[in-house]
Structure 1
Amino acid sequence: MKRRVFLIFLAVLSSFNWAGAQQQKRLTSDWEFLKQDLGGIWEAVRPVAKGSSEAVPLWEPVTLPHSFNAEDAVDPDMNYYQGPGWYRTKLPLENPYPGGRILLHFEGAGQKTDVYVYTTKVGSHTGGYDEWTVDITDAVAQFQKLDVFNKQFKGSVPISIRSDNSRDLEMIPSDLSDFNLYGGIYRYLNLVYAPALSVERLFIKPELRTDLKAGKIDVRARYYDPTSLAGADITVRLKDPDGKLLATVKKSLKSFDEKASIAEFSVKSPFLWSPDKPQLYTVETELLSAAGKHIRTEKVGFRSFEFKEHGPFMLNNKRVLLKGTHRHEDHAGVAAAMTEDMIRTEMQMMKDMGVNFIRLGHYQQSPIVLDLCDSLGIMVWEEIPWCRGGLGGDIYKDQARRMLTNMIEQHYNHPSVIIWGLGNENDWPGDFSAFDKEAIRSFMAELNDLSHQLDPSRKTAIRRCDFCKDIVDVYSPSIWAGWYRGVYTDYKKVSEEENKRVKHFFHAEWGGDSHARRHSEDPDNALRKVKSSDGADERAGDASLYGGQARISKDGDWSESYMSNLIDWHLKEQETMPWLSGSAYWPFKDFSTPVRPENPVPYVNQKGVVERDFTKKESYYIFQSYWTSKPMVHIYGHSWPVRWGNEGEEKMVKVYSNADQAELFLNGKSFGVKVRNSQDFPAAGLRWNLPFVAGKNTVKVIATKGKIRMTDEISFDYETRKWTKPAKLVIHKTSEDDGIATLEARIYDAAGVQCLDNASLLKFSLSGDGELIDNQGTSTGSRNLQLYNGRGIIKVKLNKGRSTVSAKVEGVETAFINL
């Protein structure tokens, strides 16, 4: 693979992944953190007696991965911290390889990072999302010669790391982006021991014959050889998805040319990788030299794909509708610092929802995510963070080139990857005094060429930059029918028009915001204000909650009820669009953003089908009902405790299911069997108009899919009384478990009727021994939030003490509860 002159590396710095190295350990514990800058590196390592007045600044113990924006990103009362933070630890280092290398492999840290061994700076990296490695061998050897090695540090080596997410217009992504640019070592940091000669990276290219009945695999390698050793022997093994050894190739290497093939394998009747059967082959290299033995293992897969011109997507010569979503690296309480268990949970939830495609927005993501996409069978569009703001100068462009190269080389072997994304919303100005469309086109063309040079086997793509749509292989325009513009019934017509404008159309980003636990008896009411002919793209200012033409994003109720209808309509229409390559709902999970402080949950983009803590919204089950084959049934309204209407009025109950048919019961009485028909909107025909009784109601469904029987049940109150203006706020404890109390505030009128359509801003506060569990960015984890149907929930950690919690809504008396 040809190296390019603009890739500049420090002598000790490599931009590649050592995840396959033989001796590797995650460095998760025994770290200290400081949320500010230091006067210099000496302040991190100088000897200070515990309790001394000189023990300033004060460091706190943390575990990696860690982001110093874990909570302040969604703090409703302040902007999130953007600046430097420091991490430090002491490592006992014992390299098992004589003359071997000691490496620190970063899976991602944001956004600029400096690494020190004692007082020696050993490496730096700019970019918060690609992997990179620092060789600390020589600095460690020099430090171990100093008296302080044994006297002060007791035979351990001090490592200090400065992470900085300060605003910088000559960096990507732009701070205008609709997501936080987190700071910290928010992905895993690995200690790697490698022999003096090792395989740094494998480039494995599986190819299929047109009829899919035979394939071949070509293997190349990049070597890490900082001491210039002479010669080595390499053995390459290929194993099938069951682990059976298929072939072995052995070679003696006189030189270490990464462009030279080290093994070629022919495979008859190869197992194919697909979403239904993600079959993975194993390629193992064993490098033997005077420096010792080094083993590296990679997973690869055979698959062919094609975007038909103005037509569908083909995988392994068959049409496959790309059923997608998006992922931001973001979670309640940790921000970007998601553990492997969290990532696995999230990706499995996507697969269980029926996803076979994901766009990783808007940056290279953790290698754990890509490994899971391979093993779960989820196709990937992965992109660099050239997102909004315009185009900067040479430093800016060098970072974009470097991050594109790193992303492609680091994730080259993943069969799940089918698209390299070059940018997002590059038509969005703001970071520079001049916005030059021709300069953006020129640089986009350069990145497109670079991507194809590095990897001719994948497609390139961008989303929402019409003046660059002819440059890339696949283009996604902005279509937000029923949210930022128009009505959702415009979706198919607009998509057909956009499909004609480009050779290869894909619809990335659609949907809209929903405040979890907010429901509506008339969810489509705001559509009456919106013009159907108003288009469907997002215009400048459409994300604002003020001004401009009527649109659901501003004038709608942000209910789960409305979003369920929008999603239901899109999914049923997609079944009648045989030319459609696919779409990706934006996004899978709510995430934090600095540009939406006035949302119902402040600083949270609430378009996810699950909340920031994995709590499922109703829309999750709608996707399941269209996209999965495993039998499922779900009555809409599990988080809707009180419905309302007139006495004797029939109210709709919707059931989302992939069943053949379903029977519904209200308070034990059957209201008949309905047959599922995906084109019978809403709920694919599984809907009933029922005469609720005032007070408690129970709805149960029995659904059948073939011989499989499924049930679901919900209970709720039906309110027939009419409420007037809010007059009273009440707060009460609904539960207590393991020292955590759940509190609910409700707003009532003067007659004691709950104001079920009230969406006022609610503010919780606490005094005493306990702690509010807030700054989570969820509907039950924010001290400031809009009410959902006249109520709001918060949790309190009691700490075995006494506390008073208040709830406040403007215009009514503050409510208190003693705990």
Structure 2
Amino acid sequence: MKVVKLAVFLLIFLLGGKSAAAQQSTRLTDNWEFVKQDLGGVWEAVRLVGAGNPESVPLWEKVTLPHCFNARDAVNPDVNYYQGPGWYRTQLEVQNPYANGRTLLHFEGAGQKTEVYIHTTRVGNHVGGYDEWTVDITQAVADFQKTEAFHKQFKGKVPLSIRCDNSRDLEMMPSDLSDFNLYGGLYRYLNLVHVPVISLARVMAKVEVDAAGKQGRLNIKVAFQEPAQGGETQVQVRVLDPKGKQVGKHQASYPVKAGEQELHTFPLKNPLLWSPDKPQLYTVQVTVKSGADTFVQTEKVGFRHIEFVEKGPFKLNGQRLLLRGTHRHEDHAGVAAAMTEPLIRQEMRMMKEMGVNFIRLGHYQQSRLVLQQCDSLGIVVWEEIPWCRGGLGGRIYQEQGRRMLTNMIQQHYNHPSVIIWGLGNENDWAGDFPEFDKERIRTYMKELNALSHQLDPARYTAIRRCDFCKDIVDVYSPSIWAGWYRGVYTDYKEVSQKEFEGVKRFLHVEWGGDSHAGRHAETPDNALAKISSAQRADERAGDASLFGGSARVSKDGDWSESYLCNLVDWHLKEQETMPWLSGTAYWPFKDFSTPVRPDNPVPYMNQKGVVERDFTKKEAYYVFQSYWTTQPMVHIYGHSWPVRWGDEGEQKMVKVYSNCAQAELFVNGKSYGTKNRNSQDFPAAGLHWTVPFVTGQNQVRVVARQGQQTVQHEISFRYQTRKWGKPTRLTLEKVSDAKGLTTIEAKLFDAQGVQCLDAANWVHFSLAGAGKLHDDLGTSSGSSKVQAYNGRAIIRLEAQAGQTAVAAQSPGLATVLLTL
């Protein structure tokens, strides 16, 4: 077992509902085996371990945690993703250093129902794929260590078996009607933890500061890990400022009893304030003495004052802050939900570099690692429970919702980044149950709202898209998809203001549109001519379908990056002229997999992200940067557009996205003048030129200036003036070898041999012989079945010794083979 020692006195793990730090904690990452099916019982997981029996079935595979059942099949174009049980097993070395101490398994999240066994003894279970939980295995380990199997078959190690199950279940949140996969597996970190006989279940650090930031208060409450031991224990609390200087200390004896108890309140004058620009974090360290043993829990907190003004904007520390946000799903190419800490850090850093100061975590409690990054980077958070679509279930269903809300608030209470607890999403979407009773839903929503305020009176509650409940919560987000599912994007401000007037506090989360990475258009807004302007511009049942219904860009548009950039550009320039707006959040940051979109250009992918599922940036990423960041940047549209087209001598638009005051454009070495940036001059904030290209290769360069600083960007492309007809021929060629990967490109040509630059035919790749195709990644260059982008499509493979043949097929065209 690979041992990752988390720093003594500073490690965080969950004990029954909130983070706690322990002296001994180990991430259990290596030496796991997995089987994607059910077993006859736990005995099948342990009976043949170490026996060396070659006839053992089923066959287990070696895996590393975090691990997801659906790392590949979630985006396999030919199958439904697996929903069912799977088993994990390993062997633990258990040596608790504390006299009468406890040994715990801390799950940072596992999907969706989990059972835990020490040898054949079930020691715990959990329902819910997103909150944290802990299993005490102390007694089961002690009992097993007395057996003959411990000494002989397992040679001093303790067998751990875990059954995860993501089977469909109507009485479990979230609904399988949701627009995301309900993943299975141990897809977040699992920790083996040793604690002394007396330890803490949680520390609740309530931070208050006035809007002027002059007077701060820090109130500390704790709950001891049950069962309570009785008697008293020494507890010390230290408060350190962001530079590590001690600014508060308290020490006293407290009874060891069940429930929360208050320790101390620290007044702090002129505390350093937490904000997106300066995310100042204080440290709270609580030390508990139990005989010779010491337990320490460390928390990070921040002083900030939040206010959603009724019928007005959002204020942080007394000043208006326009929330510039996006969304995150726990999903990534090749691993699905099993994102490692480095991947999470990279994703959050990319968001911050795009200019994000706000994120909605959709649609479930997410990893503690995400919240820690939001705290340290300065990103405010709306986090919600997974009551998403389907309606309202019965007693078991509703109890799960209450439990998940309680766990989310207790587990993430201390994070200064969190400003909103989300109670639900699209709860007006029926389908899981025979009846859809709005009054029952309202009653339950009121219950959740009251529970949230009881657990945390200082933060706001919110929901998105359930108009018949919008009066219950503190903050409401209606459904506004101007220019995608309904209406045109120029409707955006008018529609938003009308919705704003109908609620107490308005915050617009979820807007945007899909784009197929690598697909570009010379006239991207053509589809808008088919769309009637709509005052609502919302999303309704069936709008996400690519077939039937009224005209809409989501069905009738070209899904080009060019259109999405125009839509984003318009929204961002309008948001700068809406002084009443609290903020928005673009949906989402990264493309993610979904079972309800099999017909999208990358099957089973929601392609609304501004980066692909593997972090490859789309053009829209730079549009956001040009409005939201201050570090000088410049980007010419079209870095992934190898061939543009038009007539000889035709004036073509070049768009430059930059936050700089001025930019000068050069085409094939000739200057086409300097333009000043003006956010209200659409498109590209005035940094657009119409210029002629030459047939063949063209070089375009831009130099942007902000004060004394200069930044530049350059692209090259081929300009095609020959016209094309219907695709009649498919070709396949090797275009590059890099980093152990071979890139293969398919192209579509007409009968005259002209590349069809608007062709969107389906292309299906396959491989025979040596090597491995990099498919099932959910990206435009990592799917065995994909729609062409501008008459081409690419796939990558790992080349190995021996002969390899790659095939490409497209309906109605002859199959082509390429032998490597």
Same fold (TM over 0.5): yes
**Cα distance, 1:22 vs. partner?**
2.2
Distance in 2 between the 1:672 and 1:682 partners? Answer: 17
Distance in 2 between the 1:285 and 1:131 partners? Answer: 21
SS in 1 for 2:745: strand
Matches within 5 A, 1:92-171: 92-171=93-172
Question: In structure 1, what is the equivalent of residue 237 of structure 2?
Answer: 236
SS in 2 for 1:388: strand
Say whether residues 1:30 and 2:22 are aligned partners.
no
- CA change 1:24–1:51 in 2 (3 A) is closer
Corresponding letter in the other structure for 2:110: A
Matches within 5 A, 1:453-464: 453-464=454-465
Say whether residues 1:744 and 2:733 are aligned partners.
no
Question: In structure 2, what is the equivalent of residue 205 of structure 1?
Answer: 206
Corresponding letter in the other structure for 2:600: N
Question: In structure 1, what is the equivalent of residue 310 of structure 2?
Answer: 309
Say whether residues 1:406 and 2:407 are aligned partners.
yes
Matches within 5 A, 1:633-782: 633-782=634-783
Distance in 1 between the 2:717 and 2:212 partners? Answer: 57
Question: In structure 1, what is the equivalent of residue 389 of structure 2?
Answer: 388
Question: In structure 2, what is the equivalent of residue 7 of structure 1?
Answer: none
Distance in 2 between the 1:387 and 1:441 partners? Answer: 15
Tell which deviates more after alignment, 356-365 or 766-775. 766-775
1:408-440 alpha-carbon deviations (Å, 9 max, x no partner): 000000000000000000000000010000000
Distance in 1 between the 2:803 and 2:223 partners? Answer: 62
Matches within 5 A, 1:267-666: 267-290=268-291, 292-533=293-534, 535-666=536-667
**Cα distance, 1:52 vs. partner?**
2.9
**Cα distance, 1:247 vs. partner?**
1.6
Contact 1:196 / 1:225 at 8 angstroms: preserved in 2?
Answer: no
1:307-345 alpha-carbon deviations (Å, 9 max, x no partner): 111110000000000000000000000000000000000
**Cα distance, 1:257 vs. partner?**
5.5
- CA change 1:621–1:91 in 2 (3 A) is same
Question: In structure 2, what is the equivalent of residue 8 of structure 1?
Answer: none
Corresponding letter in the other structure for 1:388: R
Corresponding letter in the other structure for 2:77: P
**Cα distance, 1:532 vs. partner?**
1.1
1:271-326 alpha-carbon deviations (Å, 9 max, x no partner): 00000000000000110023621010000010001111111000000000000000
1:546-603 alpha-carbon deviations (Å, 9 max, x no partner): 1111000000000000000000000000000000000000000000000000000000
- CA change 1:33–1:19 in 2 (3 A) is farther
SS in 1 for 2:641: coil
1:430-474 alpha-carbon deviations (Å, 9 max, x no partner): 000100000000000000000000000000000000000000000
Contact 2:75 / 2:593 at 8 angstroms: preserved in 1?
Answer: yes
**Cα distance, 1:212 vs. partner?**
1.7
**Cα distance, 1:48 vs. partner?**
5.7
Q: TM-score, normalised by structure 2?
A: 0.97
- CA change 1:607–1:32 in 2 (3 A) is same
Question: In structure 2, what is the equivalent of residue 16 of structure 1?
Answer: 17
**Cα distance, 1:771 vs. partner?**
1.3
**Cα distance, 1:23 vs. partner?**
1.3
- CA change 1:391–1:470 in 2 (3 A) is same
**Cα distance, 1:354 vs. partner?**
0.3
- CA change 1:50–1:734 in 2 (3 A) is farther
Distance in 1 between the 2:49 and 2:259 partners? Answer: 49
Distance in 2 between the 1:18 and 1:141 partners? Answer: 26
SS in 1 for 2:429: coil
Tell which deviates more after alignment, 180-189 or 291-300. 291-300
Matches within 5 A, 1:51-130: 52-130=53-131
Contact 1:485 / 1:534 at 8 angstroms: preserved in 2?
Answer: no
Corresponding letter in the other structure for 1:644: W
Question: In structure 1, what is the equivalent of residue 3 of structure 2?
Answer: none
Q: TM-score, normalised by structure 1?
A: 0.98
- CA change 1:51–1:135 in 2 (3 A) is closer
Corresponding letter in the other structure for 1:405: T
**Cα distance, 1:814 vs. partner?**
1.1
Corresponding letter in the other structure for 2:611: V
Report how many residues are paired.
Answer: 807
1:670-697 alpha-carbon deviations (Å, 9 max, x no partner): 0000000000000000001010010000
SS in 1 for 2:74: helix
1:39-86 alpha-carbon deviations (Å, 9 max, x no partner): 011001103666635311111100000001000000000000000000
Corresponding letter in the other structure for 1:280: L
Distance in 1 between the 2:441 and 2:722 partners? Answer: 59
**Cα distance, 1:402 vs. partner?**
0.2
SS in 2 for 1:350: helix
Distance in 2 between the 1:738 and 1:800 partners? Answer: 16
Tell which deviates more after alignment, 250-259 or 211-220. 250-259
**Cα distance, 1:514 vs. partner?**
0.2
**Cα distance, 1:816 vs. partner?**
1.1
Distance in 2 between the 1:304 and 1:227 partners? Answer: 36
SS in 2 for 1:442: helix
**Cα distance, 1:534 vs. partner?**
5.7
Contact 1:731 / 1:807 at 8 angstroms: preserved in 2?
Answer: yes
1:508-531 alpha-carbon deviations (Å, 9 max, x no partner): 000010000000000000000000
Contact 1:99 / 1:291 at 8 angstroms: preserved in 2?
Answer: no
Contact 1:22 / 1:296 at 8 angstroms: preserved in 2?
Answer: no
Contact 1:127 / 1:172 at 8 angstroms: preserved in 2?
Answer: yes
SS in 1 for 2:448: helix
Distance in 2 between the 1:60 and 1:210 partners? Answer: 56
Distance in 2 between the 1:296 and 1:118 partners? Answer: 31
1:640-679 alpha-carbon deviations (Å, 9 max, x no partner): 0000001110100000000110000000000000000000
Distance in 1 between the 2:467 and 2:292 partners? Answer: 54
Distance in 2 between the 1:27 and 1:458 partners? Answer: 35
Tell which deviates more after alignment, 730-739 or 131-140. 730-739
SS in 2 for 1:489: helix
1:718-741 alpha-carbon deviations (Å, 9 max, x no partner): 000000111111111111124320
Distance in 1 between the 2:77 and 2:23 partners? Answer: 46
SS in 1 for 2:389: coil
Contact 1:17 / 1:105 at 8 angstroms: preserved in 2?
Answer: no
Distance in 2 between the 1:129 and 1:608 partners? Answer: 22
Question: In structure 1, what is the equivalent of residue 6 of structure 2?
Answer: none
Distance in 2 between the 1:139 and 1:679 partners? Answer: 67
- CA change 1:233–1:14 in 2 (3 A) is closer
- CA change 1:90–1:96 in 2 (3 A) is same
Contact 2:216 / 2:271 at 8 angstroms: preserved in 1?
Answer: yes
**Cα distance, 1:264 vs. partner?**
1.4
Corresponding letter in the other structure for 2:55: E
**Cα distance, 1:224 vs. partner?**
1.1
Quote the RMSD (CA, aligned, Å): 1.1
Corresponding letter in the other structure for 2:644: R
1:458-492 alpha-carbon deviations (Å, 9 max, x no partner): 00000000000000000000000000000000000
Corresponding letter in the other structure for 1:147: E
Gaps of 5+ in 2: 1-13
**Cα distance, 1:533 vs. partner?**
3.1
Distance in 1 between the 2:18 and 2:116 partners? Answer: 17
Contact 2:51 / 2:153 at 8 angstroms: preserved in 1?
Answer: no
Distance in 2 between the 1:67 and 1:696 partners? Answer: 45
Contact 2:50 / 2:154 at 8 angstroms: preserved in 1?
Answer: no
1:334-363 alpha-carbon deviations (Å, 9 max, x no partner): 000000000000000000000000000000
Corresponding letter in the other structure for 2:468: F
Question: In structure 2, what is the equivalent of residue 3 of structure 1?
Answer: none
Contact 1:212 / 1:316 at 8 angstroms: preserved in 2?
Answer: yes
Corresponding letter in the other structure for 2:735: T
SS in 1 for 2:524: coil
